[in-house]
Each structure stands twice: as C-alpha cells, then as structure tokens.
Amino acid sequence: MASRTRFLLLDFDGPVCDIFAEYSAPQIAQELVDLIEKLGQPITPTLIGEQDPLQVLRVTGRLYSTTVLAKVDAAFRAAECAAARTAIPTPGVDDVIDSALATGRTLIVVSNNSREAVVSYLKSHNLLDFFEAVIGRYEGMNPELLKPDRHLLDLALKGNEAQRATCVLVGDSTTDTEAAQAAGVGSIGYANKPGKSEALTEVGADAVIRQMTELATALRDAPRGW
C-alpha cells in the first residue's frame, strides 16, 4: 500500500488531531439542536440525543429549510473554529508528515470539518505550508455531499485524474473508507479506538493501522512504485 502512495490524503479529525478534545462533539451537537429550536422549528425525533454535529447538519439539510440549514452550518463552522484552538495533535502525525515529504509524496487534507477550522489549526501548528491543498466543508455545501460521498475527494483530485491509482486516503471512520472506494482511491483505516479495526476491515479498508507511526515507518521503508 505505501509503495503505491504518491498522494497521501489525510482526514483531519483523527489522523491529524482530535479537534473536539476540549470542546466536545456532543456539546456542539446539542448547541446546534438548541439553535434549531430557537429558530422556532420543531425538533425531529431523530435529533433528540444526537451526539454527532455532522449528523445534526445532515438531518437539518434533509428536513429543514435552506435558511435554517445556513444558520446551523454557520454556527457549526464557528464552533469548529473554536474547537480547533484547543485541539490535541494526534501522536505520530508529525512523523507521517516528515516521512511523506522526505520521500517525495504530496500531502492533502480531505475533511468533513469546515475548511476554516482545518486551516486555522494547521496555521497555528505551523503545518499549513506542508499541504498542497486543504479540502473541507464549505459554505453552502449540501450536507449530502459529505463523506461517504466522493465529492470532497473529487475536489482534492481535480486535475489529477490519472493519478488516482497512486492516491490513498487515511481516515478513522467507515465513511472515509466508503468515500475512498467511491472515488477509486486506496484507503488506510486508522483504528484509534476499540472496535474500529473490525469496522474498518468489514467495510473494505485496504489496510488498517492502530498508530500513525506505523504509517510513517511504511512510508520511509517502502520502495516507491509510481
């Protein structure tokens, strides 16, 4: 897998950092649901107790007006930027970045998180210049186009169609693997929590790692096959 990897695509939350380490995802999800209620909208049962703000966004896009969706998305983007300020770097990610660059590979972030939050984090950690591109959720984006849809990966690979065989996405969720499959690129599952290894294997990840340092070692040691 590492030998074929010329373009290394990293999901943000998980492989790069824990964005919600201090400002938690369940807290943000509840704040978004509260906002919907403040906007005078009934709360659909599917949102009661929902702990994933991305899922709140998806449901909002399906069941509420475009005006409500725009306000919820704006609030979510602001919360993500706040969360990015207290995000905790993933152990070993610096080694991955160093190994990728030292072996002539190209780094790109492809994330369901807002682009503003990702860029803010990378700038604050002096990492932005190491990435060729940062692809994330953008203002006005239809939530249905978030991973597992291939849309964000297609944006990342625009102009590099012939290189898809040398692209690999590293992500810690099954939606990352599914998006990679839909886009025709390789996938490495990052099993950073119990049970993830089995789930990522089940959906067809090409490889699974438990520590980012495993990937760094593979990038350094594998002969380049492109």
Q: Is the residue at 211 inside a domain?
A: yes
Q: Do 209 and 150 share a structural domain?
A: yes
Whether residue 32 lies inside any domain: the answer is: yes
pLDDT of residue 161: 64
Q: 30: which residues sit within 8 A by CB, 6+ positions away?
A: none
137 & 199 share domain: yes
Domain membership flag for residue 205: yes
Please choose, from the candidates 170, 180, 174, the residue with its C-alpha nearest in 3D space to the C-alpha of residue 202. 174
For residues 76 and 137, membership in a common domain is answered with: no
Pairing relationship of beta strands 133-137 and 106-114 according to DSSP bridges: parallel
| pLDDT value of position 1 | 78
Rounded to an integer, what distance in angstroms lies between the CA atom of residue 109 and that of residue 156? Answer: 8
**Host H or E run for residue 212:** helix 212-221
Cα gap 21→87, rounded to integer Å: 6
* CA angle at 72 for the pair 141 and 174, rounded to the nearest 5°: 60
Whether residues 37 and 96 fall in one domain: no
Say yes or no: 80 and 135 in one domain.
Answer: no
Q: How far is CA 214 from the centre of its chain?
A: 19
Within this chain, do residues 69 and 105 fall inside the same structural domain, yes or no? no
> Is residue 157 in a domain?
yes
pLDDT (0 to 100) of residue 225? 66
Beta-ladder partners of 44: none
Q: Of 46, 64, 84, which residue constitutes the final position of a domain?
A: 84
Range of the domain at 80: 25-84
In a domain, 226, yes or no: no
Domain co-membership, 170 together with 129: yes
Q: Both 186 and 156 in a single domain?
A: yes
Domain count, the chain: 2
DSSP secondary structure of 119-176: HHHHHHTT-GGG-SEEEEE-TT--GGGSTTSSHHHHHHTTT-GGGGGGEEEEESSHHH
Could you tell me if 57 and 137 lie in one domain?
Answer: no
In this structure, are residues 225 and 103 in contact, taking their beta carbons and an 8 Å threshold? Answer: no
pLDDT of residue 159: 72
CA angle centred on 151, ends 145 and 157, rounded to 5°: 160
In angstroms, the CA 118 to CA 19 distance is 9
Rounded average pLDDT per 10-residue block, the chain, 226 residues: 90 98 98 98 97 98 98 98 98 98 96 98 98 97 98 90 86 98 97 95 97 97 74
Nearest partner of 32 among 65, 74, 67, judged by Cα: 74
Same domain, 125 and 72: no
3-state helix, strand, coil in the chain (%, to 5): 50, 15, 35
Question: 39 and 131 share a domain?
Answer: no
Residues 106, 160 within the same domain: yes
